[in-house]
Amino acid sequence: METKQTGWVIIIVMALTLLFFAGFILWPGISEKESFMFFILIPVLIIPALLFYQLKIHIDYSEVKISFGIGLIRKSWELKKIEQVSVVKNNVFHGWGIHYALNTTIYNVSGFNAVELKFKNSKRKVRIGTNEPEKVAAFINQIIAKNL
């Protein structure tokens, strides 16, 4: 199973900011030094946009894999180490991107819907943002139940 969550807010904000800076670069009333400063800022915006525009979840019969954007940032967990998966709602404080809160790691690029992985013999939890939390949780729980 595979599902994707697209970070439209991230994409739109980065695109508008890039257009804003491009306007300054092309504006004839700006000096070369100032124009160069804006030119340097463009990669600073493009890199995070490429890294976090999307969150892809891939689940097979042995592990749950996630990857952000172009795939440089990725993580996986073995299904045999997962005890239970439940549907949860993140709040505003959980934010978007990768965050650590007490014993929970949050991976998210848009919205507040997520699945929470609870691990055997551990207090650690992982929350993964998805537009289809019920489908993802049911699929993983079904595989876990078969492997017991």
Whether the per-residue pLDDT at 26 is higher than 80: the answer is no
Q: Are 58 and 2 contacting, i.e. CB atoms less than 8 angstroms apart?
A: yes
Q: How confident is the model at residue 148 (pLDDT cuts 50, 70, 90)?
A: low
Percent of the chain predicted with pLDDT > 90? 57
Residue-wise pLDDT for 96-115, tens only, equals: 788 888 889 999 999 899 99
pLDDT at 96: 79
Delineate the domains of the chain, giving CATH numbers in brackets: 1-148 (2.30.29.30)
pLDDT reported for residue 28: 75
